[in-house]
Amino acid sequence: MKAVDAPVHQSETSTTSQTTQPWSVVIQDDPVNLMEYVSRVITRVFGYSREKANELMMLVHQQGKAIVWRGNREEGEMYVSQLHSAQLQARLEKSR
């Protein structure tokens, strides 16, 4: 992700913790999408707080990818389609 106009908030919020859910929505890092934009998209699609979206965006940026949501397949596909519509590299993975 491009670090242009990117607000970086430190937050103690952890990522989704429902490890029993079978499917995960994963966002992959890319060198094009702006960090601020990624954060806004996460907020809009999942309804997360700005702080949580910023934390997830930073995880994507620093780790190359991050799980941003866990749940059932049908709902996960809906979220991935919205992320693709926003031109983010996202996929659905079966949780281990």
- By the rule CB under 8 A, 67 interacts with another protein: no
Binding range to another protein, per CB under 8 A, among 11-19, 48-56, 59-67, 88-96: 88-96
Closest approach, Cβ 32 to another protein, in A, equals: 5
Give the span between the Cα atoms of 45 and 48, in whole angstroms.
8
Q: Is 6 helix (H, G, I), strand (E, B) or coil?
A: coil
Collapsing DSSP to helix, strand or coil, 18 comes out as: coil
CB of 12 to another protein, least distance (A): 26
How many Å separate Cα 68 from the centre of its chain? 4
3-state SS assignment for residue 69? strand
DSSP 8-state secondary structure symbol assigned to residue 7? -
Nearer to another protein, 59 or 92 (CB): 92
Q: Which of residues 31-50 bind another protein (CB under 8 A)?
A: 31-34, 36-37, 40-41, 43-44
Cα atoms in the Cβ-side hemisphere of radius 13 Å centred on 43: 13
Residue ranges binding another protein (CB under 8 A) = 2, 4-5, 28, 30-34, 36-37, 40-41, 43-44, 77, 80-81, 84-87, 89-92
